Chain A
Amino acid sequence: MPEHTGTPSSKLTRRDLIRLAGATGLGLFVTRFGGIRSMAEAAAMSESVTDIINIAATAEAMAVTLLGAAIKGAPGYLNADGSRGLAAPLVTVLKAAQSSEQAHYAFLTHAGAKPLTLTFNVPDPKIATETTTLFKTIETLETAFIAAYMAAAREFAAMKKIDLVKIAVQIGGVEAEHRALARLALGEALPHNLAYEAPMFNDVGDAAAALKKLGFIGGAGSAVKYDDFASGVDNTGMTDLSPM
């Protein structure tokens, strides 16, 4: 599949004007809605459906790829107690997560989405070797994905694209499940610790920028390719692999 390395649209400059970079945790962008809301909404409206689904497809491909790499390397992970190998239930969860991300990718590309790239980077080598780092990274990325689809749902709603609103929620809900399960894997006492999912982005382009800043897209870490993992997706135990 040809790779697309360009930015989603020529409207980055407008988004840059309204983006407030507040790096927290692993460096995610957190935007404030308050006084710039009307401007943010105007900027958000500048994303087309095509822009949104292209970015979404890119993120889903990234998830399929990173999860695939984790699954492949499962026997070698270093656990917090010093033992080796991801526990079988965790591998099952990762496989199911990869299956759902692939289902999202398949749906989006079938609808015409063109991912911006299918080559990704692992910014921290420990993501591929340490269980705690892996699941902290998954929690962070899923939090970003939840917020990205939240922005997409809002943008689609503003466009009165009702069917797309539903799909964004259907996908975002699955990402929320992944977030909770990542926290469970980390041993968090309350995996479901939020009363409301957290908004982070004014638009989906902000989410893409966040992934770039984290080093997963166009970064310096070792490269991993979607094509090396997509065919190995395991759908065992999965249902509803399409939104219809």
Chain B
Amino acid sequence: MFERMASTTGLFRPRGAVAAGLGLGTSQLGTLQALAASTESVAQIISIAATAEALAVTLTGAVIAGAGEYDGAKGLPPMMVSWVKAIQAEEQAHYEYLTKAGARPLTLTFTVPQNLASITNDSKALLDFVVAAEGIFIGAYIAAAAEFAALGQPGLTQVAYQVAGVECEHRTLANYARGATPPNNLGFENAPFHTVGEAADKVKSLGLLGTPSPAATLHYADFAGKVDRMGVSRWTP
């Protein structure tokens, strides 16, 4: 069962970016805030990230496997299926890199709570969920990039950036698929989390990491071996 790795109840809880300008060259407030907020180590960050990537591989795998059941057996359009396959491949690439780097996913069993059951058979609900979920992942990797910087790891900041960009692509394409106008509706990506642990808390709150009486229980191992990498390049950072 997933347990949150980092505490966010410190003596000093920053409430977002510095309000008065950027503090360019004059303030280390951002650094202090990040250090104060972040009790997460690199290992903790990447383990949480790997868990999220495994979740994504699993859920997308379930969508692919059940593609024909959506919308009253009308099925997902072939283009959408190919897109979901590529998303799964990319999340799997992220998972592989993180685990090779030593990440240990906190769980590889995931749940679909009853209130999200429609994502298993309704394309609109699915796409709404994907947009929201990618938003959480994007926020998580933005937090990770900042935390890695505070930990003196600019190379890992770059990797977090490289992953975040791909999650952003997923977000906008899911937005396009659900008919959002415009699909590229953000001036700046949302950064609601100070730590990756906060993002994990959000995912947990949705019931995806274990919940009573779930609509579905899914195992990463049932889907990881079926990832289709066709058309996807740059398999490592």
- Whether both chains belong to one complex is answered with yes
Q: When the two chains form their complex, are residues B231 and A194 in contact, meaning their CB atoms are under 8 A apart?
A: no
Q: Does B106 contact A (CB under 8 A)?
A: no
Shortest distance between the CB of A230 and any CB in chain B (Å): 15
- The contact sample of 5 A-B pairs, CB cut-off 8 A, is A157-B148, A164-B22, A171-B188, A195-B93, A240-B188
Residues of B in contact, count (CB < 8 Å): 72
* Distance of A97 Cα from B172 Cα, bound (Å): 12
Write the residues of chain B forming the contact surface with A, with a CB cutoff of 8 angstroms.
16-19, 21-25, 28-31, 33-34, 79, 82-83, 86-87, 89-90, 93-94, 138, 141-142, 145-146, 148-150, 152-155, 157-173, 176, 181-191, 231-237
List of A residues within 8 angstroms of B166 by Cβ: 176, 192, 194-197
Q: When the two chains form their complex, are residues A100 and B187 in contact, meaning their CB atoms are under 8 A apart?
A: yes
Given the interface contacts A150-B162, A153-B158, A195-B93, does A100 sit within 8 Å of B176 by beta carbon?
A: no
Q: When the two chains form their complex, are residues B169 and A241 in contact, meaning their CB atoms are under 8 A apart?
A: no
Q: Does A158 contact B (CB under 8 A)?
A: yes
Residues of A in contact, count (CB < 8 Å): 68
Interface residues of A in 147-162 (CB under 8 A from B): 149-150, 153-158, 160-162
A-B contact count (CB 8 A): 233
Q: When the two chains form their complex, are residues B171 and A168 in contact, meaning their CB atoms are under 8 A apart?
A: no
Stretch at the interface among A116-124, A127-135, A177-185: A177-185
Q: When the two chains form their complex, are residues B231 and A168 in contact, meaning their CB atoms are under 8 A apart?
A: no
Shortest distance between the CB of A201 and any CB in chain B (Å): 11
List of A residues within 8 angstroms of B89 by Cβ: 195
Q: When the two chains form their complex, are residues B168 and A240 in contact, meaning their CB atoms are under 8 A apart?
A: no
List of A residues within 8 angstroms of B235 by Cβ: 195-196
List of A residues within 8 angstroms of B171 by Cβ: 177
Given the interface contacts A170-B191, A171-B188, does A192 sit within 8 Å of B86 by beta carbon?
A: yes
Q: When the two chains form their complex, are residues B232 and A173 in contact, meaning their CB atoms are under 8 A apart?
A: no
Partner of B189, one of A169, A198, A241: A169
Given the interface contacts A104-B187, A165-B157, does A173 sit within 8 Å of B146 by beta carbon?
A: no
List of A residues within 8 angstroms of B19 by Cβ: 244
Q: When the two chains form their complex, are residues A237 and B181 in contact, meaning their CB atoms are under 8 A apart?
A: yes
Stretch at the interface among A10-18, A19-27, A71-79, A88-96: A88-96
Shortest distance between the CB of B191 and any CB in chain A (Å): 5
Q: When the two chains form their complex, are residues B93 and A240 in contact, meaning their CB atoms are under 8 A apart?
A: no
Partner of A192, one of B17, B87, B94, B182: B87
Q: Does A231 contact B (CB under 8 A)?
A: no
Partner of B157, one of A146, A154, A163, A179: A154
Q: Does A238 contact B (CB under 8 A)?
A: yes
* Distance of A198 Cα from B165 Cα, bound (Å): 10
Q: Does A99 contact B (CB under 8 A)?
A: yes
Shortest distance between the CB of A236 and any CB in chain B (Å): 8
Of chain A, the residue at the smallest CB distance from B35 is A162
List of B residues within 8 angstroms of A162 by Cβ: 30-31, 33-34, 146, 149-150
List of A residues within 8 angstroms of B30 by Cβ: 161-164
List of A residues within 8 angstroms of B17 by Cβ: 163, 166, 243-244
Q: When the two chains form their complex, are residues A190 and B145 in contact, meaning their CB atoms are under 8 A apart?
A: no
Shortest distance between the CB of B183 and any CB in chain A (Å): 7
Q: When the two chains form their complex, are residues B234 and A194 in contact, meaning their CB atoms are under 8 A apart?
A: yes
Interface residues of A in 97-119 (CB under 8 A from B): 97, 99-100, 103-104, 107, 111-112
